[in-house]
Amino acid sequence: MNTSLAAPESALRFRWLEAPAAGTSREVAPGVIWLRMPLPFALDHINLWLLADGDAWTQVDCGYGDAATRALWQQHFSETLKGRPIRHVIATHYHPDHLGNAAWLAARWDCAIAMPQAEYLTAHAISDEHAGYGVAATSALFRTHGLAAEQVAALEARGNAYRRGVPELPLSFAHLAAGDEIAVGPQRWRVIPGYGHSPEHASLYCADLGVLISGDMLLPKISTNVSVWPVEPDGDPLGRFLASLDRLAELPSGTLVLPSHGLPFVGIAARVEQLRAHHAGRLAELEAAANRPVSAAEIVPVLFRRELDLQQRFFAMGEAIAHLNHLWHRARIKRLITADHAIRFVAP
C-alpha cells in the first residue's frame, strides 16, 4: 500500500470510527463479524471477516502467519466462535497478510481453502522461488531499473520474506472464479475479480446484505500497491487495476465496503473516482519528470514523498515501474534500453 488518499468527508461515510480491539469482534451486518489482526509492518493491521454459516463459520482472509496473530486466533477460537467450527476458509489473494494462516486454520478445523487458481499457484511459485518469482529475479529487475547497488544488496540480504509470512501453504484448494456464487448460510456471495494488485484478486459481494468484502482492491485512505514483478517485466498492471475499478463502481451507492485495511465505509463510487484522479495526477507528474531519460529508481521520490524503509522501497520500486510501463504502453513516453541493458524512460 502507499500514499495516503483521504477522500473528502462528504464523499465517504464511516459507520464506525474505530476498529474492534485485538482479540475482540464486532458485527457489521447480519452474520458478518469484523476481526482485526496486527501486522509487523508500517501498515500495522489487517481486517478479517468471519461469516455465520449455519452451525459453523466461513472465514475470509486469515492474517499474517506469525506467533502474535496465531495467539489472537486461539483467543477467537475460545470466545468469538461460540463453540462453532470454521467450515470454510476463503483467501481473497495470495499475499501473506491474507493467506498466512490459511493452511494452519484448515489443518486445525479440517476444512477446505477456497481461492482463485492464479493466487494459489502464485503463492507456491513465490514460496519456492520458481518460474521467475524470487529474490534473485526481483533484484535483477530492480537493478535494470536503476536501483542502487547497496539497496539491491539489502533486498537480497532480506531473503524470501514471503515464507516468513506464509510458513505453510495449502496443497489443495477449492477453485474460485469470476462470477462464482458462494453460499454462506442463507446468503450468497458473488466473486468480483480484480487485477493489478495481484493476479486474480477475489472481492465478494452479497446483494441481499448490501455488503462488499473488497479485500485490497478498494481501501478508504490509501491506494493499494500495483507493481510490476520480474515474471511480467513489460506488463501493465496499473491499466488492469484501473479497469477493474469499473466493476466495483457499478455496485449500488449504499453498499457497505469492508476493506482489508482502514475502516468500513459507504461511498464506493466516490472512492473509485478519487483513486482514478490520484493515479491520473501521478501519471501526469511522471510524464513531466521524463523530460530527460529517467529510471524507475529516480522517480520513486515523485510517487513517494517520504522516507521509505526496506519493505516500502521494495514495493515502491514495483509501483514506479508499473506507472512508467503504463505511460509507455499508452505512448505517452518512450522506453530506452541501453547497451548494458539498463531501462530508462523519456518523453517522446
Q: From CA 155, how far away is CA 284, in angstroms rounded?
A: 29
Query: Residue 212: what pLDDT?
Result: 98
Query: Residue 309: what pLDDT?
Result: 87
| pLDDT tens digit sequence for 189-227 | 999 999 999 999 999 999 999 999 999 999 999 999 999
Q: From CA 348, how far away is CA 332, in angstroms rounded?
A: 7
Q: From CA 227, how far away is CA 244, in angstroms rounded?
A: 15
Angle, in degrees to the nearest 10, between helices 67-78 and 102-109: 30
| pLDDT tens digit sequence for 224-265 | 999 999 999 999 999 999 999 999 999 999 999 999 999 999
Local structure of 84: helix, strand or coil: coil
The DSSP symbol for 255 reads: P
Helix (H) or strand (E) holding 269: helix 268-289
Q: Which residues contact 128 (CB under 8 A, 6 or more apart)?
A: none
Q: Is the pTM of this model over 0.85?
A: yes
Tell me the DSSP string of 117-176: HHHHHHHHHHHHT-TT-SHHHHHHHHHHTT--HHHHHHHHHH--HHHHH-SS--S--EEE
Q: From CA 125, how far away is CA 142, in angstroms rounded?
A: 19
The DSSP symbol for 36 reads: E
Q: Which residues contact 180 (CB under 8 A, 6 or more apart)?
A: 190, 191
Query: Residue 10: what pLDDT?
Result: 53
- Shortest CA distance to 142 belongs to which of 30, 211, 229? 229
334 strand-pairing partners: 346
Local confidence pLDDT in tens for the 348 residues of the chain: 344 444 444 589 999 999 999 999 999 999 999 999 999 998 999 999 999 999 999 999 999 999 999 999 999 999 999 999 999 999 999 999 999 999 999 999 999 999 999 999 999 999 999 988 999 999 999 999 999 999 999 999 999 999 999 999 999 999 999 999 999 999 999 999 999 999 999 999 999 999 999 999 999 999 999 999 999 999 999 999 999 999 999 999 999 999 999 999 999 999 999 999 999 999 999 999 999 999 999 999 999 988 888 888 899 999 999 999 999 999 999 999 998 899 999 999
Residue 245, CA atoms < 13 Å, CB-side half-sphere: 22
